[in-house]
Structure formats: structure tokens, C-alpha cells
Structure 1
């Protein structure tokens, strides 16, 4: 039972041996924190959400841990607040229906291996959205909606590498940069622990070979083809050759062990991640995302952004789509070229903000060689996950999203033409300023939406931190090492709500000054 004024550390239990973890400052406050009762009361009998009241409550006192996951789905744009319970249930069922193991997908008296074969061949490889499968007397249509798409993507990844969805993760590379399999016994054992340390032989165990190289093979169970037959082995080897010639598949498979290395280090102080099933779920989601977002793939830091979704949302598809929505906001930071890193644009914006609001500090940082603001790299990449305790970072995130909230989010992601044009017959209506977060309101008032994309609140949060440390930086920093040390001292010592209030004040001041220029 959660009571007013209670800290939330016990909700995100820390391992007993981890004694140096910052304590969570966020506390549940009656009348301020969005409670389960207030959340339920915010819906009409049909299911329409009063988003304005919800945002106001979140901005005052955050979200009760017991409902945090479902509220985040709205804040991140997974659902439209103007949708009904039935409409959201339909979306939820469609996106969950196919999530799970291959066996659970194609189990039952009607949906036999024949339908499995049709689906693998027709949808995964030909991307034909017209195939329907009759399961338990109900029509299951593989349409091209994003909600069903996660299961399709996951199965596609599983076909390329059978470790996806197996409940395991890998932390050692399976192939070389040329696409050749690595025959190190320890690598083989990690990829296929049930088979021992036997390397796949040219004329030997085809099942082991399939697990080792990734399964791009379609198995036609109706024809009774055995993987242990010579024809089966040849098909597997041909499939392996095909995979190794595909540069996109090679690139994806090369990231899998890096994802694994990061997953086992992510939030390792939490009891939650002592369970292998939670680690593997995090690994699966990141592996699938790395495959579908080929421009970005996987980068270090994404596991820190995805981890809270795994903890807050039990269903894997729900967690994936919350992470995907978050990445819509942040993927530009992770996009890299041979000459630049995406986050450099945000660091440049941060420099401009500081130069305008605190020119003396900006000049001092430039003198020290920190004019590129790389010392703020981590804060922007993982949204202050290192500067706050786990619980406080969640509190900070939801306050940021509530302040930035745009009621058109769902339509911007699902129906971009509708969001931009508000065509006749579209469910989207002209948004009310009351339905927007305070940060978004300021942008609308100042016409920021009509020009370039508005600067995110995260930049003003960093600027707020710099402002609080401005005097110390000016007096004590004699080099970049001093700057980093002073900023590292803020870990566990920042109040999330005060930081957001400071960011809002700086944002308002910045807009006024920028308007005069």
C-alpha cells in the first residue's frame, strides 16, 4: 500500500550489495501526485481522457508508480486521448495478438504448420499484407499496421538469428565483419549452450549450424523435410551463404553482441534485472529496433532509454512501442556519419542558449576549450539517467513529457498527413492550447512552431544545471577536467521538479531574448 509522503525506492528495489546508489528524492504526495483514482476519474464513460487535467497533475507531482506505464503510453503518443476504451482495446489486441514465441503464434487445431509456412514465406519475405489466418474461429488479418508489425519484425529477426526470442542473449560476436562465422568454442557455446561446445561441422549437425549462423531457412513441415537430412544441411549452408552476402544482415548481426554487453550492464543495481527473462526481453526489443531502424541501428545509451519501459510495461509489444516513440524524439542524437555525431547539433544549440543567457559562463567555457559542450554529451544522450537515481529519472522524464506534450502526437506518428492538414473527416481536430503542456504552450505563443522545430526541454534542463553551477565553474574551473568534476558532483543531488522549473524559466527568457534579435 502506497501512502502519501512515502519514498518510491521500494518500488524499484535495489540489490542489497549496492550501497552507493543515490536515494530517490521523489515522494508520493496526496493532492499533487497523479494517483490511480485520479487517473481513472480522468476518463469519460466512453474512454475519452481529459488530458489537460492529467498534465496539470503530472506537472505538480509526477505519477504514482502503480500507473506510470499506462500513463506514459499517452505521454509518448502511443494512444490518442480522444480515443475510446474500445478503440484502444482494439489497438492493444492487434499489437499483442502475435507477440510471443513462434510456437504460441502457430498453435491450435486450425492454425497448423501449413499456415506457419504460408506466413513465413508470404508475409515475412514477400511482405504481402493480404494473408489472413483463421485461428480459434476468429479472423486474424496480417494488415500493415504498426501494432501488428512488432511481432512480424521480431519473427523476421528470429529467422535471421534464432537467439532472438529464445530467452537468451549473446555478448560475443558470432560473425566477422566479412560475414564469416567465428568458430571460437566459447562463442559457439554462448550462442547455443544446449549443444555444448561442438562447432558446427560441414557435414554434421545442421541444427547446430542453423543456430550458429541464424535461421533464414523456411522449414516446410508439411513436406516432412528433416534438418538432419543431407538436403536440409545443404539448404542451411546455402541460406548461410545468402545471409553472409547481405551487408544489412551482417551489420545487424555484428551489433547483437554489443547490445548484449550493454544489456548486462544496464541498471544492474536493480533486483528486477537479476532475472534472465527481463534481460532477454530488453535484448530482444533492442535487437528488433536495430533491425528496423537501419539508419541508426543500435548505439550505446539506447539500453538506458529502453530499460524503464521493460520495468513499467509487462507486455513486450507495449514496451517496444513506448521505446520506439521515445526514439522518435531522440533518434537524431544517435544518427552518425563519418564526420559527425547527431547529438553535436544539440550541443551546438546548448552553446547558443548559454551564450545568450549567460555570456560570461559561455566565454569562460570557450577559454577552457569546452566551447563544443561535449561535457554535456551524456546528459542529452540518456536524458540524465546518470545524474539521477532510477526513480528520480523516471519522475524527471514524465515531467519533461508532460511539459512538452502536444495533443497531436498520436496523429503525427500514425497519420502524419492528418496531423499536418487536419483534412475533413479526420478524427484529429484543431488542438486547444489547454491540452498542451506548459513548455509547448510557450512555443505556440511565440510562434516557434511556424519556424524551425522548437528546441527540446532537455537543452534547457542542461542550461539550468549549468546556471546552478555557474559561480563554481567561473571560480574553480581551470580546465575541462575541473568542469567535468564539478558537473559530476550533481549526481544524486538534483531535485527533478526544481530542475524543470528552472528549465521553464530559462526557456521563457530565451524566447524573449531570441525574439528581439
Structure 2
């Protein structure tokens, strides 16, 4: 029998037996360091207020026990205010579930495959709004009961853009975390597709971009209720959606890449010069690491631990705003520096970011530290941009 401190987290995120080349999770549940179920429950008052300050150190030092990870994430990501009561949170939860039901029903009315347990991986519509005539698309438009969905020409630009991206979501869904036993079940793949499709309709400015499935996938596993998974993902996207904004002139993480270059130049000027000579001074090889926050560099379990560690360090209760009142930024509440994450506290002491901007995200410093740690290998092995990309893939 496993002791609490010996339980391997791979037990919670089982990998398919045939996938032997998947990195093993290094994170372990450690008694006295990992935020345990008992410790988490003891942070609640009888009314339901959470003493979030007493949990943050545990989280960034030892992570969160997988059995309570989803519940704690909702607080770390700002789904709920720690100063709310049990009753208040239950009401908010019910309201959000109802709101998601409306959103999903709206999407289903536009495309009935939403919520059917199926998904598409072939284009169902052209960029001009014409229904696709591809045999694979027509086959995928058949419901489980044999009824075929008939599409008509679309003229609404918003609907065309949304329907056109649905197959790309499907293609990414079937490639996301397929080494996990959890995604052997078709219904879990369909759930991931549904949430991403609804989000693309909900957030029309960003819509859907490749990589978002990597961020949403853990939510599907942590929350039984689809609506709860959606809103936790939506909160996560509030932190990262700028990463997925593309224009003809820039990529979403360009600012972070520039910061990474500056930091690397300071801590390892020799490596920075070497990368510049290879034409990698723009640090584009780090786009994936920053965009999906190391989901593809670490094992599944380790990436979740890394996320919650960063969230705990960067925790700032003043940034919370409820869905019901977006302008309510903790109005009238007394500030308590005790309830801020360690990284955020240091930023406050130092007057915030440069020129009043927010401080650099921890992820930038994490990538820089990894580059520094692997500097010797990059200097000896990287003789071209392809080499930089190859080595960077194995940095972790």
C-alpha cells in the first residue's frame, strides 16, 4: 500500500501501456509540503471564507494533491473570491452552469453536432460560406442515429469564421494528450471539442488557435461538470489569451520573447551572442514553451504542478473580477499583503513593473533559467536554427 508521501502522480493521470517514450512525472506528493486535503479543508472558516494566504506557500513549494486540484485551481485562477461564502459560491456556480447551457445551446442550434458526442476533423464549410462537399465531411456530419446534418450557405461572417474553425479544433483534439488512458474514451474527446468550440463562439476576438487544446485538456480531467471545466478554462484564458493573438506583423508572445532575449543577454551573454549568430536572436524557438506553458516539454503531471506553482507565486487577489460584475475589482476591501503570492509581493515592494507595467511573468524567467542551465549543450551542439529547435525540445 502506498503511503501518502509515496503516491506517484502518474497514478492519477495514467499513460497508455504502449506509450513507452512518454516522460515520467517527477513530481511526488510530499507530506508537509504538498497542499493536502486536510490542510486545504482547514483553511475554510465555518461560513466558507478561505484563508488563501496560508495555502500559497504549500502550493509553490510542494504543489496540490491531485484529489483537490480542480477545487483549488478555481481559487488560484479567480473563479471564486476567497472572501465569498459557501452559499455565495454555490449560487455563482449554478448561475455559470446555466449560462454555459445557454451558450452551448446557441452553438448547437448553429451546428447540431455540438453536444452530440461526436466531433469533426474535416472542413464542413468553405471560407466563402459554402457547405463542404468532401466525402469525409459528409460522413462526419452524420449523427449517431443516422440522421445527416444538412448545411446551407452561410452569409454571416461571424458564423462562417466559427464553423470554418471547428474542424481545426477537432484535428487538435485528437492529437492532444492521446498518450493518456483518459482520452481513449470518445466522449472525453467530444467534451474537449465541445468546450473549445463554445469558447471560440464566446470569445470571438481570439476564437480558437492551435495550442489552446493543451491548456483546456487538464480541465476536462479535473472537473466532472462540463460547465465548471469551461469556466475554469475561460479564467485561465484571461491570463494567457494575449499569447494567442496574431497579426500580420506579430505573434502573441512577441513581447515575452523580447523580454526573454533581454534576460538571457544579462545572465548568459555568451549564449545570447551564439543564438544571435545562428539567426535565433528573436528566440522564436521558445514560442511553444511560452504559449502553452511547457505542456509539451514536461510530463502531464509535472506541467500541472508547474502551472499551480506559478499561479501561487503570482497570486494577486486585487485582479479578481466576477463574471456577474466585471467592474467589481474587490471594491472597498482592505488590502492584505499576506494574501499575495511571493513573486507578487516582491513586485509590489519594488514598485511593480517597469514604467508602471505588470511585472514579467515567471514563465519568462523559467525559460531563461533552463537556457542558462543547458548553455554548454546549446553552445556545443547548436550549429544552426534546426539544432536550436532540436535541443530546445529536450531542454526539460
**TM-score higher than 0.5 here?**
yes
- How many Å apart are 1:434 and its aligned residue? 1.2
1:8 aligns with 2:9: yes
> 1:348 & 1:466 partners in 2: Cα distance?
15
- 3-state SS in 1 of match to 2:129: coil
Q: Deviations over 1:180-225 (max 9, x none)?
A: 11123332121114475xxxxxxxxxx74xx232xxxxxxxxxxxx
> 2:298 & 2:112 partners in 1: Cα distance?
37
> 1:248 & 1:462 partners in 2: Cα distance?
37
- Whether the 8 Å contact between 2:122 and 2:137 is mirrored in structure 1 is yes
> 1:487 & 1:161 partners in 2: Cα distance?
41
- Whether the 8 Å contact between 2:257 and 2:283 is mirrored in structure 1 is yes
Q: Deviations over 1:263-307 (max 9, x none)?
A: 011000111111111111100110011112112111110000000
- Whether the 8 Å contact between 1:189 and 1:195 is mirrored in structure 2 is no
> 1:57 & 1:354 partners in 2: Cα distance?
30
Task: State the match for 2:62 in structure 1.
Answer: 61
1:442 to 346, 368, 384: 346
Q: Deviations over 1:320-363 (max 9, x none)?
A: 11111111111111111122211122211211222233222212
1:334 aligns with 2:238: no
1:358 aligns with 2:262: no
Q: Deviations over 1:221-246 (max 9, x none)?
A: xxxxxxxxxxxxxxxxxxx45xx110
> 2:296 & 2:145 partners in 1: Cα distance?
39
- Whether the 8 Å contact between 2:267 and 2:372 is mirrored in structure 1 is no
- Whether the 8 Å contact between 2:214 and 2:295 is mirrored in structure 1 is yes
> 1:462 & 1:165 partners in 2: Cα distance?
38
Task: State the match for 2:362 in structure 1.
Answer: 457
Which runs of structure 2 are paired with 1:39-118 in the superposition (5 Å)? 39-96=40-97, 98=98
1:305 aligns with 2:206: no
- How many Å apart are 1:430 and its aligned residue? 3.2
Which runs of structure 2 are paired with 1:131-210 in the superposition (5 Å)? 148=99, 150-194=100-144, 208=148
> 1:352 & 1:430 partners in 2: Cα distance?
36
> 2:229 & 2:7 partners in 1: Cα distance?
27
- Whether the 8 Å contact between 1:192 and 1:212 is mirrored in structure 2 is no
Task: State the match for 2:385 in structure 1.
Answer: 480
Task: State the match for 2:18 in structure 1.
Answer: 17
> 2:289 & 2:109 partners in 1: Cα distance?
37
> 1:343 & 1:430 partners in 2: Cα distance?
34
> 1:17 & 1:275 partners in 2: Cα distance?
16
- 3-state SS in 2 of match to 1:27: coil
Task: State the match for 1:430 in structure 2.
Answer: 334
- 3-state SS in 1 of match to 2:317: coil
> 1:445 & 1:378 partners in 2: Cα distance?
32
Q: Which ranges of structure 2 fall in alignment gaps of 5 or more residues?
A: none
1:247 aligns with 2:157: yes
> 2:348 & 2:102 partners in 1: Cα distance?
39
Q: How many residues align?
A: 394
Moved more, 25-34 or 479-488: 479-488
Which runs of structure 2 are paired with 1:23-42 in the superposition (5 Å)? 23-42=24-43
- How many Å apart are 1:452 and its aligned residue? 1.1
Q: Deviations over 1:99-123 (max 9, x none)?
A: xxxxxxxxxxxxxxxxxxxxxxxxx
TM-score (norm 1): 0.73
CA gap 1:361/1:185 in 2 versus in 1, 3 angstroms: closer
- Whether the 8 Å contact between 2:113 and 2:143 is mirrored in structure 1 is no
> 1:87 & 1:412 partners in 2: Cα distance?
12
- How many Å apart are 1:416 and its aligned residue? 4.8
- 3-state SS in 2 of match to 1:448: coil
Task: State the match for 2:206 in structure 1.
Answer: 296
1:281 to 174, 191, 210: 191
1:410 aligns with 2:320: yes
- 3-state SS in 2 of match to 1:411: coil
Task: State the match for 1:372 in structure 2.
Answer: 282
> 1:299 & 1:418 partners in 2: Cα distance?
30
Which runs of structure 2 are paired with 1:376-395 in the superposition (5 Å)? 376-395=286-305
> 2:271 & 2:324 partners in 1: Cα distance?
43
- Whether the 8 Å contact between 2:371 and 2:395 is mirrored in structure 1 is no
- Whether the 8 Å contact between 1:405 and 1:440 is mirrored in structure 2 is yes
- How many Å apart are 1:32 and its aligned residue? 0.8
